[in-house]
Amino acid sequence: MKVPDIKLSNGNHVPVLGMGLWQSKDAEVFNKAFKLAIDAGYRHFDSAQVYDNEHLLGAAWKDCGIKREELFIVTKIWLKNFVYSQVGKSFEKSLANLQTDYVDLLLLHFPVTGLRRKAWQALEEIYESGRAKNIGVSNYTVKHLKEMKKYAKITPQINQVEMHVFLQQPDLVEYCRKEGIILEAYSPIAHAKDMTNETIQSIADKHGKTYAQIMIRWCIEQGFVVIPKSVTPKRIKENIAVFDFKLDKQDIDSLKKLDRDFRTCWSPVHVP
Backbone angles phi, psi at 8, to 5 degrees: -90, 170
DSSP 130: T
Number of other CB atoms surrounding residue 271 within 10 Å:
16
The helix/strand count (H/E) of the chain reads as: 10, 10
Helix/strand/coil for 166 = coil
Catalytic residue among 51, 140, 175, 186: 51
Backbone angles phi, psi at 181, to 5 degrees: -100, 125
Kind and range of the H or E run holding 75: strand 72-77
Interatomic CA distance for residues 168 and 190, integer angstroms: 11
84 counts as catalytic: no
Please check whether residue 184 is in contact with residue 224, taking contact to mean a CB–CB distance below 8 angstroms.
yes
User: Where does residue 80 fall: left (phi above 0), alpha (psi -120 to 50 degrees), or beta otherwise?
Assistant: alpha
Report the catalytic residues: 51
